[in-house]
Structure 1
Amino acid sequence: MKTKNLQTAVFGGGCFWCTEAVFQEIKGVEKVVSGYSGGNAPGKPTYREICSGLTGHAEVVQITFDANTISYTDILVIFLTTHDPTTLNRQGADVGTQYRSVIFYLNDNQKLIAESVVEDMAHYFDNPIVTEISPLKIFYEAEDYHQNYYKNNATAGYCSFVISPKLSKLRQLHADKLK
């Protein structure tokens, strides 16, 4: 029996529903939890507070993955190619600092890998990558109704028009990494 090497990654790529749906399809990903991170407001923020843009938090996902199956580098490449890392505080119609592109690293090794991958990926984009790379201070789990959002609401308008195309792109670019 192969021993698992479970590690954690935390990213924000706009709406957490999209990022969650993407990583739930990746081989080696054990768990994806939607949440909030990167703000300065005291206490656990609510979705309504996050949406105000006043807390400084971003919508993020906490990904638990088996590093024996998929590397942190591969996770980062998937992240950078399934949202637009070149738009500051915006993903499509979602605008505000809560929708920023961000990599929250958990240790110095993740920071070095993130910086390297962002640098290596820069030539794939027409505009500069503006993805923030910051230390993770705290992760707050989002309300229950945000968890598994796409799986529970696949026919909803936002899911059909925003998330489904991202999943199609994922399947085209990273077919070898799918469950």
Structure 2
Amino acid sequence: MKQNLTKIGLGGGCHWCTEAVFQSLKGVEDVEQGYVSSSEENTAFSEAVIVHFNSEVISLQTLVEVHLHTHNSTSYHSMRTKYRSAVYYFSEVQQKEVVKILIELLPNFEEQLITETLPFVEFKASRPEITNYYFKDPEKPFCKNFIDPKLQLLLQNFSKVVDKKKLGSLMIAN
């Protein structure tokens, strides 16, 4: 049923990795891979995904927690403009909820979170040939070297929300 679907924007690392992580979760109905622009000093497009999810199956809190643990959410580095660590909200209510969630999750991290809560302004979709990157060919070297470790982390730390049908072959390799 589509009536409980909502969406949130998430950016932090490569959108191929981020896409695969969120495609692997129960309650996630669609993941749009591309580039997000926000406001003020964050108008430049940065790699991100828009996650459409059923809030009765998976909570926004769980999505944000998964996001924080599957990219480097505590480090400024030279690629931060390309890979902005952010949660992009679509309403003032969602903004307040995300800020509350980030505050609640702070004690789970040894270092300060750099993930920003930013308004969603614009989205540019990736080219179709690079969408669904992992699930089109999980044997690619990039998938093996960068995405598989994130999916392994999901299986280890968030197994209750992983859609095991989607990650069947990865689970067998474990």
2:51 matches 1:67: no
Equivalence map 1:152-171=2 (5 Å): 152-171=136-155
2:103 matches 1:130: no
- For the 8 Å contact 1:37–1:138, the answer to whether it is kept is yes
Match in the other structure for 1:48: none
- For the 8 Å contact 2:46–2:81, the answer to whether it is kept is yes
The code of the aligned residue for 1:75 comes to: L
- For the 8 Å contact 2:38–2:119, the answer to whether it is kept is no
Which of 76, 80, 89 is the equivalent residue of 2:64?
Answer: 76
- For the 8 Å contact 2:38–2:121, the answer to whether it is kept is no
Unpaired runs of at least 5, structure 2? 164-174
Task: State the superposition RMSD in angstroms.
Answer: 1.7
Q: Distance in 1 between matches of 2:38 and 2:107?
A: 30
User: Structure 1's 127 and 101: CA in aligned 2 closer, same or farther, altered over 3 A?
Assistant: same
- State the 1:123 CA deviation: 1.6
Which of 81, 84, 99 is the equivalent residue of 1:100?
Answer: 84
Match in the other structure for 2:172: none
2:96 matches 1:112: yes
TM-score (norm 2): 0.85
State the 4+ residue runs in structure 1 displaced beyond 6 angstroms. none
Unpaired runs of at least 5, structure 1? 41-54
Q: Residue by residue, what CA displacement relative to the aligned partner does 1:141-179 show, whole Å, maximum 9, x if unpaired?
A: 111122100112311221111110000001111100012
SS at match of 1:134: strand
Question: What is the aligned length?
Answer: 160
- State the 1:39 CA deviation: 5.9
TM-score (norm 1): 0.83
